[in-house]
Amino acid sequence: MLRVESIQKSFDGFMAVNRADLVVDKGEIVAVIGPNGAGKTTLFRLITGHLQPEKGRVIFKDSDITGLPPHQICRRGVSLSFQVVNIFSRMTVFENVQVAVLSHKKKTYKFFSPARNHGVRETREILENVGLADKAGSVSGSLSHGDQKVLEIAIALGNSPELLILDEPTAGMSPEETSVTIELIKRLTSHMGLTILFCEHDMELVFSVAHNIMVMQQGRSIVQAGPDEVRNNKQVQEAYLGEAE
Ligand SMILES: Nc1ncnc2c1ncn2[C@@H]1O[C@H](COP(=O)(O)OP(=O)(O)O)[C@@H](O)[C@H]1O
Ligand SMILES: [Mg+2]
């Protein structure tokens, strides 16, 4: 579904992503791991068009999407949920998702226009899928941090993506919220047929949900393989998992 080839991005001469490669197959959950500053967020932003690569290519479903603007990449079916919560905090949970659904359908959301009645079924469906249906009428800013992160995922789903990219989906979550989110990620792939690419520093989470793991270090992709192979990889142990032994 997605193939990133030798992609590169530097900031003022500092190589944040250095000829990284990544492959994501349809229906898979793929994790990118690596220490802080390894280049994970930059890699995701290169894929979604929020940053322009200096070198390399991004291929999505057999077409070259390298350098396209974010809205075009989003329209083709790639949606990114940010590391930092990014919601309209004064709007309700329902309205936040409805705005995404309507904007995907190229309808403008206005409070007193008929558009308000559009996208209602889709919005309800998404909220049920992510487990926020009972909080649909709540003001988003009043949600717990964990629920706000889940709302971010719901907003990303409003774009009807085929590939959902999550940047540290459980950052700052309690252990209970984390396990709910893990179940959600699994359900989105197994029941809704989504493909998920995410990065995360919680190793337990990564190894329990990911079918495939890519390890980044100083902007490079040092290995991509199944969880067992990654766990047993010497280079990975030395570079990253060493202290856990
Ligand atoms: N907009 C930017 N300007 C300058 N440096 C940046 C910018 N974005 C990221 N970096 C640097 O690039 C490196 C990789 O960052 P990032 O992709 O956020 O890593 P990660 O998500 O793996 O923690 C870091 O050293 C970071 O400081
Ligand atoms: Mg990051």
How much is the pLDDT for 242? Answer: 54
- Radius of gyration over alpha carbons of the chain, in Å? 18
CA distances from 141 to 86, 146, 212, 241 (A): 11, 12, 35, 37
pLDDT tens, residue by residue, 188-217: 999 889 999 999 888 888 998 999 999 999
Predicted model pTM: 0.91
Dihedral sign for Cα 40, 45, 51, 54, please.
positive
**209 Cβ below 6 A of ligand 1:** no
pLDDT in tens, 42-84: 999 999 999 999 999 999 999 999 999 999 999 999 998 876 6
Token code pair at residue 170 = 């459980």
Mean per-residue pLDDT, 4-20: 97
Q: Does any domain span residue 145?
A: no
Residue pLDDT, tens place only, 224-233: 999 999 999 9
In-domain check, residue 186: no
CA of 150 relative to ligand 2 center, distance in Å: 18
CATH of the domain at 72: 3.40.50.300
Q: From the alpha carbon of 34, which atom of ligand 1 is closest? A: 22
Q: What is the mean pLDDT of residues 118-135?
A: 94
Q: Whose CA is nearest to atom 24 of ligand 1?
A: 37
Q: Is residue 150 part of a domain?
A: no
Task: List all residues 6 or more positions away from 210 whose beta carbon is below 8 Å from its beta carbon.
Answer: 29, 30, 31, 227
Residue 37 has a CB neighbour count (10 Å cut-off) of 13
> Number of structural domains, the chain?
1
Ligand with minimal distance to 82 CA? 2
In a domain, 91, yes or no: no
82 found inside a domain: no
Round to whole Å and give the CA distance between 69 and 48: 8
Would you say residue 233 lies in a domain? Answer: yes
Q: Examine residue 86 and state whether it is found in any structural domain, yes or no.
A: no
b/e string for 54-81 if b means 16 or more Cβ within 10 A? eebebebeeeebbebeeeebbeebbbbb
- Domain range for residue 60? 1-77+163-172+202-245
Whole-number Å distance between alpha carbons of 187 and 111: 33
Placement of tokens 């190793």 in the chain: 203
pLDDT exceeds cutoff 70 at 245 = no
